[in-house]
Amino acid sequence: MWKYILKRLVLMIFTLFLVITATFFLMQIMPGTPFNNPKLTPEALAQLKTTYGLDLPLWQQYLNYLVGAAHGDFGISFQYQNQPVSMLIGQRLPVSAQLGAQALVVGVIVGLFMGAISARNKNNKIDGVSGILSTLGISVPSFILGIILVYLFGFKWPLFPVSGWGTFSQTILPTLALAASPAAVTTRFVRSEMIESLGSDYVQLAKAKGLSDKEIVNKHAYRNSMIPVLTLIGPMAAALLTGSTLIEQIFSIPGIGQQFVLSIPSKDFPVIMGTTIVYAAMLMVMILITDILTAIVDPRVRLQ
Amino acid sequence: MMAANTEDFVIVGAQSSDANEHIAKPALSFWQDAWRRLKLNKLAVISMWFLIFIMAFAVVSNILVPQKAANSFNSDKVGVYKNLPPNSGLPIPGWDGKIKAPGDNSATDVYASQGVPDGKKFILGTDNIGRSVAKRVIVGLRISLLVAIVATLIDLLIGVAYGVFSGWKGGWIDNVMQRIIEILSSIPNLIIVTMLGLLLGSGVLSIILAIAMTGWLSMARQVRNMTLSLKERDYVLAAKSLGESSTKIAIKHLIPNMAGTIIVQVMMTVPNAIMFEAVLSAINLGVKPPTASLGSLIADAQAMLQFYPYQILIPAVMLVLISLAFILLGDGLRDAFDPRASED
Amino acid sequence: MLNNPILKVENLHVNFNTYAGTVQAIRDVSFDLNKGETLAIVGESGSGKSVTTKTLMGLNAKNAAIPDNSRLLFKDRNLLDLTENEWQSVRGNEIAMIFQDPMTSLDPTMKIGMQIAEPLIKHRQMKKEDALARALELMKGVGIPNAEEHINDYPHQWSGGMRQRAVVAIALAADPEILIADEPTTALDVTIQAQILNLMKQLQEETASSIIFITHDLGVVAGMADRVAVMYAGKIVEYGTVDEIFFNPQHPYTWGLLNSMPTTDTEVGSLEAIPGTPPDLLEPPKGDAFASRNVYALAIDSKEEPPFFKVSDTHYAATWLLDERAPKVTPPEKIQKRWAHWQEIQGQEA
Ligand SMILES: Nc1ncnc2c1ncn2[C@@H]1O[C@H](COP(=O)(O)OP(=O)(O)O)[C@@H](O)[C@H]1O
Ligand SMILES: [Mg+2]
C-alpha cells in the first residue's frame, strides 16, 4: 500500500515536471507579451526584463523556474507588479477549494440519493422525474445554470446574494450551479449500477436466503453500487475546475478561476503558468485520493 | 379423448411442421435489431430528427443568412436599433416589442420610443449595436456546430487510431501509450484548451484544434480495451493466421465490431465540445468578433443580463437543446446496442 | 421408497408476458417430492427447468403469471397463496437454493463468513457472533480447509469450487427441508463437479433433506438421484426411478437424451445431440411438442397431445408409442442395449 502510494507520488511529480516544462516552453512561444507597450522607454523595458529575469539565457530561466516551482515560487505577476504569483494563488486557493468541495459534496450526496431512489422505483414516476432532471443536469453547462440562477434570484426574486464571497448565503447559488452536473452524473451512474446490482446473481441469492427487499438493498445493493462512484470523482473534479472558472466570474468570487480568466487577456504569463500547475497538482491529488479510497472500501481492488 | 383412427398410428417421422417453420423469426442483423430497439425510444427518435433538422438548417442557412448579414450594422443608427426587444408583430405579452424595465410599472414600446421606422420588426430583438439577434443566433449555431462536429471527428480519428494501435500491438508499446494517456488525463482539460487557445490565437480553426486535443482520450481508452478483447476472438485469430495485414484486420474486423461503442462515445463528445467552445468564448479565447458562436453570444449578452435577458435566452436555449438531443440520442443508442439494457 | 411427499406440484402453469406475446414456459407440470429423496429434473436448456425452480422459491420474474388452478402444496399450504412476507420465511429457511454460477452468486463486497451467517440471523434470530460461529462450522462441514483463517475472506480470494462450497453452506445454513440445486456444477471443472456432487450427497445423508436436482446432463444424474423427471418444452414427458429412466426409457426424447450422453462404453466421438431445436413457447405446437424432432413420430402426434401412459407404478411416459394401437418401434441400438440390461436386472429380481 505505502509502496504503491509512493510510486504514484513519484509518477505525479514526474507528470508535474512535464506540465511545468511544457507550460514554460509554451509560454516562450506565446505571441504577445505585456512588455510590447509602445509607451515603455527602452530603459524601463530593460528594467522590467531584469525584474522578471527575462534577460537571462533561456535554459537559466527554465532552471530558475523549475527550482522556484519546486519551492512553490512561481515568479512575479506581470499584471499586479511586485505581487508574487504564489501569494496571489495562496490567497485565492482556499476560496476555490471551498467552492469546489461544497459543490462536489452536495452533488455526490444528492446523486447517491436520487440514483438509489430512481433504481428502486425503476420505470415509474419518481424514476421519470429524476431521469428528466439528471438528463437536464448533464446537458445544461454550469455557467448557463449560473446565469439562470443569477437572473432568477438576483433580479427576479432577490433571495440570495449573487456576487462576492464571505458569507454562507453567498456560497449558495454558485454551489448549486456547480453541483448540478456532478449530481446528475452521479444519479445516472448510481441508477444504472444499482439496477445492474439488483438484477445480479448475488441479489438473487440474497432473495433466496429469504432477505426482504429492504435488507437486500441495505446490505448488498447499496455497497455494490456506491463503491464504483469513487471512480467518477476524478473526472468530476476536472469538470468542476472548468466550471468553477466561469462560475467564479459570473458570481464575482475571488477564487483562482476568476484570476485565471482575468490573466488571459492581459497575458499575465506567470499567473497563467502558476495556476496551470496548481490546477494540475490539485486534480492529480484528487485522483490519487480516490484511488486510495477505492482500495480501502472495495475488497477486490489491490493497490500495486 | 378424440376418437383416433388406426391411420393416426403410423410412423411419419420427424417433420418440420408448420409450427416449426414459425420459430424461424427473420434473423435480424445487429444493426437492424438496434434500429428496431431505437425506434421504440421516442425521446431518442425525436432527438435524432431534431438534430438532423438543425444540421440541415445550419447548412442551408449559409445561403439564407450569410456571415456578413449577421455581422454588419449601421453605425449611424445604433441608437435607433440597439437592444430592441423581440417583436412577433402579434399582441403576445413579452413578444410584442414592449419591455418592462426593472423598477418600471408598465411596459414601454421600445420600437416607438427609439424611433424605429414603422413595419420594421426583429423577431428575436437586436443586440447592443442593433444587429438582429435572430441572424446572429443562426450564424452562431452554424459556427458552434461546425466547431463541435469537426472537433469530434478529429477526436474520432485520433482516438480510434490510437486505441486500436495500442490495443493491437500490446506489450511495451501499449504500456507506454497507456501511460501517456494516464498523464494527459491527469491534466485538467481546461488547461490544455487554454494553453492551445493562447498558443494558436483566437479563430475557428484554433478552437477546433484546442477542443480536439482533449476529447480523444476517453475514446482511445475505450477503443483500446475493446481491441484487447476482440483480438482474441476466433474470427480475428483466423484472419491473422490467413496472413491478413493488421490494417486490414482493424478495418474489416475490429472497428465494425466496436462501432456501437464508438457511436455512443461520439454522441457524448459533441455536447462536450459545444460546451468547451462556450467556455473558451467566456474566457476570451473564443471566436474572433464580429463572428458569432453560441458561446460568444452568451458571453456578450451576459453583461446586460438584468436588462435584456432575451439576448442570452435564445443562444442558451439552443446550446442546451442541442446538448440535450445528443445526450438523449446517445442514451437511446447505447440501450439499442446493448440488448440487456432494454429488457422489460 | 416410502410414498411420503413433502411437496406436491399440481398442474403448474407459468406464463411470461413479453412484448412479443405470452411465453408458455411451464405447461401443466405435476410431480411429487418425497421426504429424503433426490429428484432430478433433466432436459435441454430452455425446457423450463429454471422457471420451475424459481417458481418453487417464489422468485419468478415480474412478468410471470401463474393461473389459479396451479398448486404447490408444501406442509398443508399452497405456496402460491403466500404473501411476500410469508415467502421470506420459507426461502432459505424451509426451501433453499443453490445457484449455477459460483463466480457471480456471492456478493463481492461482503465477507464470506457473513454471507453464510445471513440466513441464520434472518431465520434463527441468531446474534451476529453466534451466527458467525455457526457459519464457521458450516464452512468446515462443506470442506473448506483452514476455515478459521478464511471466514473473513472475500469471494474474489477463492476458487470457483471453493465458492460453490460456500454457496452450498449458505443453502444449508438454516437446515432447509428442501434443497433446490439448479445446475450446481455446470460452471465448474469436471473434477470439481464430482467433489461438489459428493459433498451434496454426503450432506443429504447427514441432514435427511429432500433435493430437487436440476441438470441438462444425464451423466451426473445416475449417482445422485432416486427418481428422474424428463422435461421438454415446459412439460414433463417421462418420469420414473433412476433405473427405470436409464434402462427402460420409453419416450423418444429420453432416448435422445440418453443417446447424447457419453458413457463408458461409447467413445466420445459418437455423441449425438438431438437434431433440431425445441419449439417456440410463444406458440407451442399442437399435439406432442417433440413430434417435429422425433423420427418415431406418429401421425397422431401432431394432432393430439399424448396422455401419460403407465409403465409401472412408479414410471410414466407421455408418448403415443405406448398406446396399444401404436406400432412397435425399434429404438436406437444403444437404447436396445439398455433395455436388454433392464431385462437382466428384472430377471435377477424376479
Ligand atoms: N422472464 C421471462 N420472460 C420471458 N420468457 C422467459 C422468462 N424466463 C424464462 N423464460 C422462457 O422460459 C423458457 C424456459 O426457460 P428456463 O426455465 O430458464 O430453461 P432451462 O430449462 O434452461 O432452465 C425459455 O424459453 C425462456 O426463454
Ligand atoms: Mg436453467
pLDDT tens for A168-209 read 889 999 999 999 999 999 999 999 999 999 999 999 999 999
Which among C254, C260, C275 is positioned nearest to C322, based on CA atoms?
C254
Measured distance CA(A173)–CA(A143) in Å, rounded: 12
* Amino acid in position B315: P
Three-state DSSP class for residue A151:
helix
The confidence score (pLDDT) of residue B344 equals 43
Task: Report how far apart, in Å, the C-alpha atoms of A303 and of each of A6, A279, A299 are.
Answer: 11, 25, 11
Q: List chain A residues with CB under 8 Å of B319.
A: 141, 144
Q: List b or e across C86-110, with b for residues whose CB sees 16 or more CB atoms inside 10 angstroms.
A: ebbebbbbbbbbbbbbbbbbbbbbb
| β-strand partners of B99 | B108
Three-state DSSP class for residue C162:
helix
* Residue appearing with cell numbers 419416450: C251
Partners of chain B (3+ Cβ pairs below 8 A): A, C
Three-state DSSP class for residue C84:
helix
Atom 20, ligand 1: residue with shortest CA distance: C46
Atom 8, ligand 1: residue with shortest CA distance: C51
* Amino acid in position C326: A
The confidence score (pLDDT) of residue A113 equals 93
A224 and C109 within 8 Å at the Cβ level: the answer is yes
The confidence score (pLDDT) of residue B255 equals 84
pLDDT tens for B262-315 read 988 999 899 989 988 888 888 888 887 788 888 888 888 887 777 788 888 889
| β-strand partners of C317 | C238, C309
Three-state DSSP class for residue A181:
helix
| β-strand partners of C12 | C29
**pLDDT bucket at C246, cuts 50 / 70 / 90:** very high
Pairing of strands C210-215, C178-182: parallel
Which atom of ligand 1 lies closest to the CA of C278?
Answer: 25
Helices C128-141 and C112-123 pack at an angle, to 10 degrees, of 120
pLDDT tens for A6-58 read 988 998 888 889 888 888 888 777 766 666 566 667 777 777 777 777 777 88
The confidence score (pLDDT) of residue B22 equals 47
Architecture category of domain C230-349 in CATH:
3-Layer(aba) Sandwich (3.40)
DSSP for residue C263? -
Say if residues B188 and A238 touch (Cβ distance below 8 Å).
yes
Nearest by CB: A31 against B201, B278, B305 = B201
Nearest by CB: B188 against A15, A30, A242 = A242
B316 to chain A, closest Cα gap in Å: 7
**For residue B18, pLDDT beyond 50:** no
Measured distance CA(B80)–CA(B99) in Å, rounded: 16
The set of residues, in sequence order, having a beta carbon less than 8 Å from that of A149 and lying 6+ positions away, is A162, A173, A176, A177
Which among A271, A250, A248, A267 is positioned nearest to A258, based on CA atoms?
A248
Three-state DSSP class for residue C21:
strand
Say if residues A114 and A130 touch (Cβ distance below 8 Å).
yes
Measured distance CA(A121)–CA(A146) in Å, rounded: 31
* Residue appearing with cell numbers 437586436: B126
> What ipTM describes this predicted complex?
0.87
The confidence score (pLDDT) of residue C195 equals 86
Tally Cβ neighbours within 10 Å of residue C327: 12
**Mean pLDDT value of segment A57-84:** 84
Measured distance CA(A93)–CA(C267) in Å, rounded: 77
Residue from C50, C180, C230, C277 to probe ligand 1 pocket by mutation (most atoms less than 8 Å from CB)? C50
Domains of chain B, start order: 43-68+129-341 (1.10.3720.10)
Three-state DSSP class for residue A40:
coil
How much of chain B, in percent, has pLDDT values that exceed 70? Answer: 89
What is the C57 CA–ligand 2 centroid distance (Å)? 14
**Mean pLDDT value of segment A248-274:** 88
Search chain A and give the residue with CA nearest C171: A209
Q: What angle do CA C215, C218, C224 make, to 5 degrees?
A: 75
What is the C59 CA–ligand 2 centroid distance (Å)? 14
**pLDDT bucket at C265, cuts 50 / 70 / 90:** low
Count residue pairs from A and C with Cβ separation < 8 A.
78
The confidence score (pLDDT) of residue B322 equals 94
Which among C100, C104, C97 is positioned nearest to C156, based on CA atoms?
C104
A141 and B312 within 8 Å at the Cβ level: the answer is no
The H or E element spanning position C235 is strand C235-241
The set of residues, in sequence order, having a beta carbon less than 8 Å from that of B226 and lying 6+ positions away, is B163, B167, B254, B257, B258, B261
Task: Judge if C5-225 and C230-349 fold alike in CATH terms.
Answer: yes
How much of chain C, in percent, has pLDDT values that exceed 70? Answer: 96
**For residue C315, pLDDT beyond 90:** yes
Measured distance CA(C278)–CA(C256) in Å, rounded: 13
User: What sign has the CA pseudo-torsion B11, B15, B18, B23?
Assistant: positive
**Mean pLDDT value of segment C172-190:** 88
Say if residues B257 and B193 touch (Cβ distance below 8 Å).
no
What is the C12 CA–ligand 1 centroid distance (Å)? 15
**For residue C115, pLDDT beyond 90:** yes
pTM strictly above 0.90: no
Task: Report how far apart, in Å, the C-alpha atoms of B288 and of each of A74, B201, B206, B275, B284 are.
Answer: 31, 9, 11, 17, 9
What is the C48 CA–ligand 1 centroid distance (Å)? 6
**Mean pLDDT value of segment C99-123:** 93
**For residue C87, pLDDT beyond 90:** yes
- Is the bond preceding residue B290 a cis peptide, omega within 30 degrees? yes
Residue B147 CB burial class (10 angstroms; 0-12, 13-18, ≥19): buried
**For residue B29, pLDDT beyond 50:** yes
Domain boundaries, chain C: 5-225, 230-349
Q: Output the nine-digit C-alpha cell for A255.
A: 477564487
Task: Report how far apart, in Å, the C-alpha atoms of A189 and of each of A125, B224, B310 are.
Answer: 19, 22, 35
**pLDDT bucket at B91, cuts 50 / 70 / 90:** confident
Q: List chain A residues with CB under 8 Å of C154.
A: 299-300
Residue C180 or B243, more confident? C180
The confidence score (pLDDT) of residue B24 equals 46
List residues of A whose CB lies inside 8 A of any C CB. 200-202, 204-212, 215, 219-220, 223-224, 227, 298-300
**pLDDT bucket at B245, cuts 50 / 70 / 90:** confident
Say if residues B318 and A139 touch (Cβ distance below 8 Å).
no
Say if residues C161 and C189 touch (Cβ distance below 8 Å).
yes
Measured distance CA(A130)–CA(A118) in Å, rounded: 7
Q: What angle do CA A138, A141, A143 make, to 5 degrees?
A: 150
**For residue C1, pLDDT beyond 60:** no
Q: List chain C residues with CB under 8 Å of B4.
A: 300, 304, 325
Say if residues C219 and C10 touch (Cβ distance below 8 Å).
no
**Helix (H), strand (E), coil (C) string for chain B:** CCCCCHHHHCECCCCCCHHHHHHCCCCCCHHHHHHHHHHHCHHHHHHHHHHHHHHHHHHHHHHHCCHHHHHCCCHHHHHHHCCCCCECCCCCCCCECEECCCCCCCCEEHHHHCCCCCCCCCCCCECCCCCEHHHHHHHHHHHHHHHHHHHHHHHHHHHHHHHHHHHHHCHHHHHHHHHHHHHHHCCCHHHHHHHHHHHHCCCHHHHHHHHHHHHHHHHHHHHHHHHHHHCCCHHHHHHHHCCCCHHHHHHHHHHHHHHHHHHHHHHHHHHHHHHHHHHHHHCCCCCCCCCCCHHHHHHHHHCCCCCCCHHHHHHHHHHHHHHHHHHHHHHHHHHHHCHHHHCC
Q: Output the nine-digit C-alpha cell for B318.
A: 439552443
Q: Please, where are the H alpha helices in A251-268?
A: 256-263
**Mean pLDDT value of segment B319-339:** 89
Pairing of strands C178-182, C95-98: parallel
Pairing of strands C5-18, C71-74: antiparallel
**Mean pLDDT value of segment A140-150:** 91
Residue from C12, C14, C16 to probe ligand 1 pocket by mutation (most atoms less than 8 Å from CB)? C16
Residue A187 or B70, more confident? A187
**Ligand 1 site residues, Cβ closer than 6 angstroms:** C 16, 18, 23, 25, 43, 45-51, 61, 63, 281
| pLDDT averaged over every residue in chain C | 89
Measured distance CA(C86)–CA(C80) in Å, rounded: 11
Tally Cβ neighbours within 10 Å of residue B54: 17
Class of the CATH domain delimited by C5-225: alpha beta
**Mean pLDDT value of segment C183-196:** 84
Q: List chain C residues with CB under 8 Å of B19.
A: 279-280, 283-286, 292
B186 and A287 within 8 Å at the Cβ level: the answer is yes
What is the C234 CA–ligand 1 centroid distance (Å)? 9
Residue B199 CB burial class (10 angstroms; 0-12, 13-18, ≥19): middle
* Residue appearing with cell numbers 418401434: C329
In chain B, the largest separation of any two C-alpha atoms, in whole Å, equals 107
**pLDDT bucket at B342, cuts 50 / 70 / 90:** very low
Nearest by CB: B17 against C275, C296, C302 = C302
**For residue B340, pLDDT beyond 70:** no
**For residue C316, pLDDT beyond 90:** yes
Residue from C23, C59, C231 to probe ligand 1 pocket by mutation (most atoms less than 8 Å from CB)? C23
Which atom of ligand 1 lies closest to the CA of C234?
Answer: 14
Atom 17, ligand 1: residue with shortest CA distance: C48
How much of chain C, in percent, has pLDDT values that exceed 90? Answer: 61
Determine contact: C320 vs chain B, CB below 8 A: yes
Three-state DSSP class for residue C310:
strand
Q: Output the nine-digit C-alpha cell for A101.
A: 468541495
**pLDDT bucket at B99, cuts 50 / 70 / 90:** confident
pLDDT tens for C121-161 read 999 999 999 999 999 999 998 889 999 999 999 999 999 98
DSSP for residue C110? S
Task: Report how far apart, in Å, the C-alpha atoms of C128 and of each of A264, B86, C115, C146, C175 are.
Answer: 62, 70, 11, 21, 18
Atom 27, ligand 1: residue with shortest CA distance: C46
**pLDDT bucket at B26, cuts 50 / 70 / 90:** low
